[in-house]
Chains A and B, each alone.
Chain A
Amino acid sequence: MNSEVSLKVDNLRTYFKVRRPHLFAEQPTVYAVDGVSFEIASGRTLGLVGESGCGKSTTAFSVLRLVEPTSGSVVLKGTDICRLNENDLRNYRRHMQIIFQDPYSSMNPRTTAGEIIRTPLKILKIGTPEEQHERVEELLSLVGLRPEQKKLYPHQFSGGQRQRICVARALAPNPDFIVCDEPVSALDVAIQSQILNLLARLQREFGLTYLFISHDMAVVQHICDEIAVMYLGRIVEKADRRSLFLDVKHPYTKALLSAVPSMDKEAKRSSTALKGDVPSPMDPPSGCHFHTRCPFAEKRCSMEIPELREVHPNHWVACHLV
């Protein structure tokens, strides 16, 4: 960590109130993000890993204030995003963009690719219409499409090409920071590697900072410099890529790793599969949230919340047994 910090998230909490089951019941709260802190150095990638329902997308949305965080601070290049008023926030959005998981549902099917990419420029009032059209063509070739394809509609593209359009749209206002919310989960493996390489190339060219969200450890290992593993709203393990994979500490991280299918003939067919689903964040288990699915859980795990502590330089784990 020698370069400057681009994004610093401190003790971020996002709670949702949901409907009471009956009139006199206490209003239930979903603890979607429960005290998450991390920083990303400029031009680097932080991977946020976990299963569906563990709060990784809510974390990303809270960082961009697409949902309002309950408390905590998000500082991007010295600006506290949580304190911006609506107008300033809208203007500030040119510095932070997002690529969504599903390239099929994140585009208006009735507008052309060119218009889709131009939209952020129009909203943020960047450049004259002529400059905007020029920029669209430039962006299309940047993501590996042909400039004349701007006249086509989303259904005329394949899944991978649509994701390229989404990447171009995110790049349009020249942001510093991009959230990639499972950008390759909906794509074929052959196309997945194309998009991952594209993201890596753009990062090198423009010095972009990524928050990369995924449930697939193999993908995360390839694209990320730092990795944070999330479970039910909390970070359970955080380290730079090399120290994490050389010495995996948390049982949940181990379980995520063993779930990745392997082509290696020596590798045993995964027998340490996690049992069951992620518990409901409305009624999370006491103590360590993971104790209900953890093969090593002790009595203490169901009573005390383990603290995230530094076990090696820059390797943080929240587990009583480490």
Chain B
Amino acid sequence: MKQESLLQVKGLSVDFSTKAGNVRVLNQLDLHLLPGEALGIVGESGCGKSMTALSIMRLVPVPPGNIATGQILLNGTDVLQLTESEMEDIRGNEISMIFQEPMTSLNPVFTIGTQVSENIRRHQSKNSAQAKEKTLQMLEAVGIPAPKQRINQYPHELSGGMRQRIMIAMALSCQPSVLIADEPTTALDVTIQAQIFELLRQIQAEMGTSVILITHDMSVIAEFADRVAVMYAGRKIEEGLVRDIIDNPRHPYTQGLINCVPVLKTDPGTERVELNEIPGVVPSMAQLGTGCSFAPRCHKAIDRCYEEVPPEVTVGENHCASCWRVGEIA
């Protein structure tokens, strides 16, 4: 399977200086993305998923942020070494990002047309007529009805699903090789969520874009991604093909994430059953202990878990997990 990675994150650590001192929000993170692949990153809020995306986009505010160690290789070039103006040529052109809240990430005082064409005018030397033409094409491609009227409308005139389509049109207007989707459907209804994933799948097939999908919902990963990395407290704790992870999760946190999703049954019976839950909350990054950061919430934790951070162990083909008891947990 040794395929050339399009994007590779190697040993990435990010620090933030806060009142409580230096806090490590990402810790020795390794990820890779193959051409045309959909990689899912899953974990609860505060696990460092969005920080990973922002680091790849070089949007981490410095200071207070600081990329301590690591490399982010896009087609072999380390984006961390680029100057800001070189990065501007890549951002929106080679790598694009769509955000969780389509309401807050569009500018309310500019029309849809202006906002979508901005990216095209920045990266492709086109005159305004050509840019408008391209904008119309993009709006049509993402399934916006009557694009000629829509380009003169403002974000508040559109529904949440339509706004997210506009975001996707903006992100894809320069045919990027990597699209990072940070919780693109969390603010939307399930029906609209299904539409947006349908659209992303279709675009992925047509343009061959690689997608990094960030979410907290394992069932979304199952629907969309090919491979998944599970993150907890700034570290990757398990990685593998989606089917392997869902059928055979090895880390207790991954098992928890899978089990807490309410499953639709055709016969729910007459009795209500309790959902499985992961007790407690994600710890504050400033108060991590020495051992495995999941240990306080883990029902399988042993003494060693509180003392040493477990190393990454290969448990199958393209499947690795970081847990001291990974051998016993199947």
Instruction: Report which A residues bind B (CB closer than 8 A).
Output: 51-53, 158-161, 188-194, 196-197, 200, 215-219, 221-223, 225, 241-242, 245-246, 255-263, 265, 269-270, 273-277
Contact = CB atoms under 8 A, between A and B. Distances in A.
Contact of A259 (B159, B190, B260, B262): B190
Contacts, number: 139
B189 A263 contact: no
Tell me the dominant secondary structure on chain A's binding face: helix
Contact of B222 (A158, A217, A263): A263
A219 B275 CA distance: 10
Interface residues of B, number: 52
B277 A194 contact: yes
B278 interface: yes
B216 to A, nearest CB: 4
A49 to B, nearest CB: 10
B191 A263 contact: no
Given A158-B45, A190-B256, A218-B263, A200 B189 contact: no
A161 B262 contact: no
Interface in B254-285: 256-258, 260-270, 272-279, 281-282
A196 B273 CA distance: 11
Contact of B272 (A191, A223, A263, A276): A223
Nearest to A217: B264
Contacts of A158: 45-46, 281-282
Contacts of A265: 243, 246-247
Contacts of A160: 281
B37 interface: no
Contacts of A196: 262, 275
B264 A260 contact: yes
A42 B263 CA distance: 27
Contact of B195 (A192, A223, A246, A273): A273
A277 B272 contact: no
A277 B161 contact: yes
B246 A263 contact: yes
B141 interface: no
B274 A197 contact: yes
B262 A222 contact: yes
Given A51-B191, A192-B260, A216-B190, A261 B219 contact: yes
B217 interface: yes
Given A190-B257, A218-B263, A262-B219, 16 more contacts: A189-B217, A189-B261, A190-B216, A193-B278, A196-B262, A197-B277, A200-B272, A215-B190, A217-B190, A221-B268, A222-B272, A246-B266, A263-B218, A263-B222, A265-B243, A277-B192
B216 A257 contact: no
Given A263-B218, A265-B243, A256 B191 contact: yes
Contacts of B270: 241-242
Contact of B264 (A193, A223, A257, A277): A257
7 contacts: A51-B189, A188-B44, A217-B264, A218-B262, A221-B262, A221-B264, A261-B223
Nearest to A195: B277
Nearest to B246: A263
- Most A CB contacts (10 A, CB to CB) among B190, B192, B198, B269 go to B190
A263 B277 contact: no
Contacts of A200: 272, 274
A245 B268 CA distance: 7
A297 to B, nearest CB: 17
A47 B275 CA distance: 17
Interface in B199-252: 201, 216-220, 222-223, 243, 246-247
B160 interface: yes
A190, A194, A217, A277 pick with most chain B CB within 10 angstroms = A190
A242 to B, nearest CB: 6
A276 B159 CA distance: 10
Nearest to B275: A193
Contacts of A256: 190-191
Contacts of B258: 263
B6 interface: no
B162 interface: yes
A276 to B, nearest CB: 8
Contact of B269 (A189, A242, A276): A242
Contact of B198 (A189, A260, A270): A270
B59 interface: no
B193 interface: yes
A223 B44 CA distance: 22
B253 to A, nearest CB: 9
A75 B140 CA distance: 50
Interface in B148-194: 159-162, 189-194
Interface string B13-45: 000000000000000000000000000000011
B146 to A, nearest CB: 12
Contacts of B267: 242, 245-246
Interface string B118-146: 00000000000000000000000000010
Contacts of A262: 219, 222-223, 263-264
A263 B190 contact: no
Which of B192, B264, B282 has the most CB atoms of chain A within a 10 A radius of its CB? B264
B220 A161 contact: no
Nearest to B196: A273
Contacts of A276: 145
Contacts of B220: 261
A193 B276 CA distance: 7
A19 B4 CA distance: 60
A193 B277 contact: yes
With most chain A CB atoms within 10 A of its CB, the pick from B265, B270, B272, B278 is: B272
A265 B275 CA distance: 21
Instruction: Give the top 3 A-B pairs by smallest Cβ distance, nearest first.
Output: A193-B275, A261-B219, A193-B260
